[in-house]
Structure formats: structure tokens, C-alpha cells
Chains A and B, each alone.
Chain A
């Protein structure tokens, strides 16, 4: 039995990918739970509109931070700001009671805002302290305000999770399953046959990912439909905008899938790598834990991840009916990442299919062993 143990250890020592997973994963989880997994919201940006804007803004206390004071704007503008995702909270001041508009699609921020507002109005019941100006009694009014939660009035978790899950599914199908599909070809040895057939590398690459594209698209439609139907998640925005976002995101994930397969010799390795790439995205993309709550040292990772941007798009479109113009940032990022990843993936793919260009006879050149039949 001891011999078995020794042998397994020796094999494990050489299996770098499994080792990476065993060491990398706990470290990652620790970082996440240490720095990222927070629901508490420290600061809430707020836009204040209406004639009383300045007064109300001056009276705001943390966690609120009046980032925009616009007395000339009205409720409609405030609603637009919320819908476009420019601010999570807006105060609409006017002749009567101030209305606090909260963006329900940012669940934790909205909840925190609601709690903070409730506390503030409770606090106003106490008499003003000695240092207060005489006019304080008159300004007690602003904090007995009406709170209106837009876009997820019941603050349901499912409403924000379902759009996020849409992204998760596309991520899974795109990355894991595509990588398996290509690795399978490598393992079966048929990639070499393809290289010899009169097929263009571009045809092979596109032909390979097209079915996954379709499957992922169908998957997405099912998830969204089910979400809307089963969980009464709204779909307020344009289906076209949603589809465009999904398209871009798919390009990214499919490209990543092909990249993963190009560095994996077996399906097992492909899955390992795909998991290692997927896990940070689930945790750090704002899907579960809001980006704003994460410590800055970890938050930047989230800004690199494609899922972050896609989640912004899905939540924006489904919950807030945001127009495409307001979502230009996530779209742009996705397009950029998509181009980079697709370009890399095509290049790698080309290497497999086209004969390697004539190399000079340089004995010190590193070996191209991946597909060069070095086994024989």
C-alpha cells in the first residue's frame, strides 16, 4: 500500500495543472472571501434634482454622497439617470415631499439606501441639538420623504440573479463545451486529417464554433424565457439590444474556449483550465457580490472580466429597459475583448491546420512539438 502512496505522490508532483488547481483555488477563494465577498455598501452616489436640490444635498449624510446636484432637472431626468445606470439613487425635490428614487436592479445598494433613509427619518424625530440653526426645525421636512424603488420594487433577488445567470450559462457553454469540442478533435487525431483536406483554416474554425453558437443562443433564449415566466422577472428593454450583447459575449467566450483547447492536450486538462478561468468570473464579476463593495485591490480584477460587462448589459436591459446608448461602455469593452480573443484564437487555430512555415535550420530553436508528430 505504501508503494501506491509513493507512486501517486510522484505522479501528482508532475501534474502541474492539478497542482495549480489545488493550490490556486484555495488562495483564490481566500482572496475572494477576504476582500470581495461583501454585501455591505459603504458609499452611495446620489443625484439630487429639483428646486430644493441644494438644500437637500447639503443635508445628506453618509452613506449618501451627492455626486450631482441639478436643480434644473426634474423627475423625468432623474428616472432617466437611474434607467441609464448613471446613478443608483436620485432625490427628486419639489414643492411637496422629496421623493427618493432607488434603482432596484442594484439590489444591495438599494437595500442599503432604504435602510439608511429609514434611519435618517427616525433620527429626525429627535429634537435638533444645541448647535443647530434655528431653521433646522423647518428643514426637518426633507427627510420625511417618500421612497420609491424602481425596477425591482419588491427587491427580489431572483430579479437580479436571472439576468446574471444568463451570462453564466453563456460562459459555461461558450468556454467549457467549446474547449471540449476542439480538444476532442485533437485527441482523436482527426485534426491532422483536417489539416490535409482542402479546407481553409477559417472554414474549419467557423464551422467548428457555429453549432456551439447556436446551442448557446438557444440556451440563452430558454433561460431568459423561463426566468421571465417562472420567476416573473421583467424584460423591459429591447430584445435586439440584448441579443447584440449576447452575440458579443458569445464571441468572447467561444474564443476563450478555443484558446483553452489550444493549450490542452486532453479533455481533462481543458475542463480544469476552464474551471480555473470560470470561477473568478462567477465570484468577481458582480454577479453575486456587488463590485462597489469589493476592496479596490480586488475590484480591478472584476473590471477585466467579460462577464462583468455582460451582466451589466443583461440587468440594464431586462430590469431597467436601458437604451443601448447608455450601455455603450460595456458594449465597447466586450467588443474589444472579443476582438482580441478571436484574433488570438484564430491565430492558434491556424497554426494547427496550416503546415508550419519553413524554419531556418537552427538547432537551438525551441521545438514545435504540439502537433508535429514528435511521438513518432
Chain B
């Protein structure tokens, strides 16, 4: 269920600062637009950073974009945030004042203090001083940054700097919050705080989109887009992606040989091998129907690996 985040005069419960979502220039009552892209293609010279990608970013929930380095995640987010323009396709996003963005490279000024960084952001987005201060205090307090307000951002640990970056991006209650790898390299405690901020933003009605390279994080999102080399590898709710895994996955205690080796990967000390539907294996012992004892219920990581394998081994065929 999507939570409408568009009505400017509706204050979500528990928001003590009373700041309506979407500062100046709100959306007409009752309309809750969905931001996103459709058929997005971006070229860098001869190299396609994104190829025909479609993604919806609904308000009031977290959308995750997952993929390895070079998959196109940052490009996609830059387009959503308005820092770049597409070569083909459609982008639906709110105006700059209602967008919050955290670039992959921190986005905070290392030689300004925490407070000064937030003051600049507030001013830049046209947020009244007192309002900004109150909201900043609340967010900083809750994520353990209150004691470090006077510290220079460059002197903060990685986790604290990322938290500052997210606070900065959501300070002005944007309708669309775009976070590029907010939790990469961050220790688990700070990660928990970051996810609190993310949850908070979504609870306030923002459409949150974030990127990550970690599958277990992607699982926390309400819907996920898996990118590889600019293509959408898989898409949908985590459970949908898992359900759409074709064939089965079997466990083998030993390393596999021959053809099966190309469909196998190592996971937690054992090997998993993907058996595509209708495959009859033969001698490598990986054949066997659904009910076989060594079948395993896939999780999102398995599903993504299978999608990647399918792409690698059967390039061009739909998986």
C-alpha cells in the first residue's frame, strides 16, 4: 500500500517540527505522484551506462537499487536527482527544492562543522532558520551526532559523516530523497542509525531511493532493482524476485566439475549450483527434480546470482 505523501498540509503523526512535506511549491491536494524513470538510456561515449531502465519510486517507501561497481547505480540516481540528463527515456522528478540528494562521495564540506554544513543546506533550500535548527537538532540527537555538532565534518568517522550527509539531504523534508550508497563502508552501528533516518524519511512520506552493493541491505527495501552493466537484471519486491527464479538451486558439499562449474558458486563453505528448468544434466549429478533432498530455498542473493549467471551464460535469452 502506498502512503500518500503529496498533500502539503497533512502533517504526519509524530512530526513535532510541524514542517509540511515538500517545502515551497507543494503539490495539489490528494495527488500523490510517483517519481521514477521509464525507458532510461544513458551513454558515456560508446559505453552504455544505462540501457532502457524503468523504475518506479513510490512515496512513503524505500526503493533499493543494487548492483556491483559499474552497474549504473550512480548514473541512475544522478538522473533522478537532476544532476544529469538522459539520452533517451523519461524522468519524473520533483523540482530541485523538493529533492534531497546524497552523492556517493559524501557531499559534506570537510572543513565546515556539522552545524555549518547543515546551515548551508538549510539556506540553500530556502528553509527558515528556526525550523531548520529544530529539525536538525532532532535528527542529530537521535543518531548520536549531537555531541559532535561543532566538529569539522572532515574529522568525523565514516559512519558519522554519512549520517550527517543523510541528515543534510533530508533536512528540508524533500518529497524525493536520493541516497547514493549511504551505507557503504559504514560500521553496523552507524548503519542502524542510517536506516533509522531512512525509515524516518519514508514515514514522513518521502519517496526514498538508495543504492547499495550489499544484498542483505537491498532486502530491507520494499522494492528492489538489480542492475548489472547498465541493464535491469531483476526488479520488484524481494519476494517477487525470489519467486521468479527459474529452475532450482541445489547444494553440494564439494566443488563441481565440468559444465556444472559454470553454474555454481560458493556460499558459506558449500557450493550451490543452479539447475535451469528442463535441464537434464546427466553425469555431473546436478539433475533432479524439484523435490530432491539437496534443493534449497533461494534467498535474494541466490536469486541475483542466478539472474547474473543466466545473463552471463545465455546472453540474449530471456531468463
Contacts and interface: CB of A to CB of B under 8 A. Distances in A.
A218 B183 CA distance: 44
B109 A365 contact: no
A363 B42 CA distance: 11
Contacts of A376: 69-75, 104
Contacts of B72: 376
B79 to A, nearest CB: 8
B106 A189 contact: yes
B84 interface: yes
Contacts of A359: 43, 87
A138 interface: no
B87 A367 contact: no
B288 interface: no
Interface string B103-128: 11111111000000000010011100
Contacts of A190: 103, 106-109
Contacts of A193: 101-103, 107
Most chain A CB inside 10 Å of its own CB: which residue of B41, B71, B83, B85: B83
Interface string A338-370: 000000000000000001111111111111110
Nearest to A188: B110
Nearest to A361: B87
Interface centre among B46, B82, B95, B105 (most CB of A within 10 A): B105
Contacts of B126: 198
A288 B163 CA distance: 54
A376 B70 CA distance: 4
B314 interface: no
A192 B85 contact: no
A367 to B, nearest CB: 3
A372 B73 contact: no
A191 to B, nearest CB: 9
Contacts of B99: 196
- Label chain B's interface by main secondary structure: loop
Contacts of A363: 43, 45-46
A355 B46 contact: no
A359 B106 CA distance: 28
A196 B83 contact: yes
Contact of B106 (A188, A369, A373): A188
Q: How large is the interface on A (under 10, 10 to 19, 20 to 34, 35 or more residues)?
A: 20 to 34
A196 B69 CA distance: 23
B81 interface: yes
Given A196-B96, A359-B43, A373 B78 contact: yes
Given A188-B108, A355-B83, A369-B44, 16 more contacts: A188-B106, A188-B110, A195-B83, A196-B82, A196-B99, A197-B121, A355-B85, A358-B85, A359-B43, A361-B88, A372-B84, A373-B75, A374-B44, A375-B74, A376-B69, A376-B70
A359 B85 CA distance: 9
Interface of chain A, main secondary structure: loop
B97 interface: yes
A188 B101 CA distance: 15
Contact of A360 (B83, B87, B95, B107): B87
Nearest to B42: A372
A374 to B, nearest CB: 6
Given A359-B87, A373-B78, A198 B106 contact: no
A199 interface: yes
B257 interface: no
Contacts of B84: 355-356, 372-373
A198 B126 CA distance: 9
Contacts of A367: 44-47
Contact of B103 (A192, A355, A365): A192
A358 B109 contact: no
Contact of B125 (A197, A364, A368): A197
B43 A361 contact: yes
A364 B125 CA distance: 39
Contacts of A373: 74-75, 78, 84, 104
Contacts of B87: 358-361
A356 B43 CA distance: 12
17 contacts: A188-B106, A189-B106, A192-B101, A193-B101, A193-B107, A196-B101, A197-B125, A359-B87, A362-B43, A367-B44, A367-B45, A369-B44, A372-B75, A373-B78, A373-B104, A376-B72, A376-B104
B86 interface: yes
Contact of A366 (B45, B88, B103): B45
B125 A189 contact: no
Contact of A197 (B73, B110, B124): B124
Contacts of B109: 188, 190
Contacts of A192: 78, 83, 101, 103, 105, 107
A170 B71 CA distance: 46
Interface in A59-81: none
A369 B103 CA distance: 16
